Each structure stands twice: as structure tokens, then as C-alpha cells.
Amino acid sequence: MSQCSACKDNATWRSNRLMFPSGGTVVAPNEDMPDQARELYEEARQVAGVSRRAGAALARATLERFLRDFDTAAPAGATLADRIDRVVPQVSAGLGELLTLIRHVGNKSLHVEDAPDEAVVLVLDEENTEMIDALFVAINDLVEELITKPARTSRLAALIPQSVRDAAARRAKPGANRD
């Protein structure tokens, strides 16, 4: 037993594995994450330290729930791959690849009839937390880019005097004087 440096509660270990608190090294959810996605994220976070496979599968479910809530204009029956494709143009380079990794590993970690590929092996590796942590960081980055940053920008833009916003809009028009 030891003391958790994050919450100051007693930490329980079994064979060098943190059992309680079970959030382990996984980052907390972005504060702007919608409630249903946040619930799945917290569940994934709780089990990831005990079962990487369950954590990866629930991270995938979190991603799908978030994208369903965020992109309500997606066609009925859109798959997670379809939803990722729809959001990739709106996010930073590289994040789309991580979203595809979440989908892939979440799917493949549950298909036990298939031999796990390299990505699954990396995420399920008990000795390396970097890959499992990357799944959760990518979900938080997605929320940051699609919800947090736009809300912050809108909030700050609203503080700019209307006359300055109007002048900027006029300058932004094609052929406008840029002086």
C-alpha cells in the first residue's frame, strides 16, 4: 500500500499494478466533454489499469458516443469510420490517424479469433502505458479542438467591440482595402 500522489487516498497495488484508485495514469476527461461520452470515458479510465483490452474497447465507445453527439448531421447508419472521416477535415493533422487507431484497436482488441496486430499488441502491452494513454489524450484533444477552442474563441471575440469586428469583417471581404 502507498498513498496516491493525485488524490492523497491510499493506493492499492497487486503485482506492480495499481488497483485503486483505478484511474492510474490516464488523464481526466476534458471538462467540455458531453455527459454521455464523459461517463464512458470515466469507465474506460477506471478499467484501463486493470484491463487494457476493456479500456481500449471503452475508449472506442467513448469516441463513437462523442462523434454521434457532435455530428448530428451524419447520415443514419453512419459507422464510426464514416464519422471519423467526416470530422478529420476539422481537426489538426495527425489527430485523424489517432482517431482511426482508437477505432481499430477498440475493434480488434475484442475480436479474439484474430491474431492481434502490432497496434493492438502495443496498446495492450502491460509494461508500456504510452499507447493506452495516447487513446485517451486523443479523445481529449478531439474535444479540445471541436468544442473547447471554438467556444473560447467565440467568448473572446464577443469581448471585442462591435466596431472593430465590423471593420475586420469588411477587410476580410475579397477586394477590400487592407490598410
Calculated CA dihedral for residues 63, 57, 80, 152, nearest 10 degrees: 10
Cell numbers at 106, concatenated: 477498440
Categorize the per-residue pLDDT at 122 as very low, low, confident or very high, splitting at 50, 70 and 90.
confident
Kindly give, in sequence order, each residue whose CB lies less than 8 Å from that of residue 143, ignoring residues fewer than 6 positions away.
Answer: 29, 30, 32, 33, 37, 66
Q: What is the pLDDT of residue 172?
A: 86
Nearest to 133 by CA among 10, 25, 8, 17: 25
Categorize the per-residue pLDDT at 6 as very low, low, confident or very high, splitting at 50, 70 and 90.
low
Categorize the per-residue pLDDT at 20 as very low, low, confident or very high, splitting at 50, 70 and 90.
low
Residue 110 has pLDDT above 90, yes or no: no
Cell numbers at 13, concatenated: 497495488
- Average pLDDT of 146-157? 95
pTM beyond 0.85: no
Q: What is the pLDDT of residues 63-106, one digit of tens each?
A: 999 999 999 999 999 999 999 999 999 999 999 999 999 999 99
Q: Map out the domains of the chain as residue ranges.
A: 25-172
Residue 163 has pLDDT above 60, yes or no: yes
Q: What is the pLDDT of residues 22-74, one digit of tens each?
A: 556 789 999 999 999 999 999 999 999 888 999 999 999 999 999 999 999 99
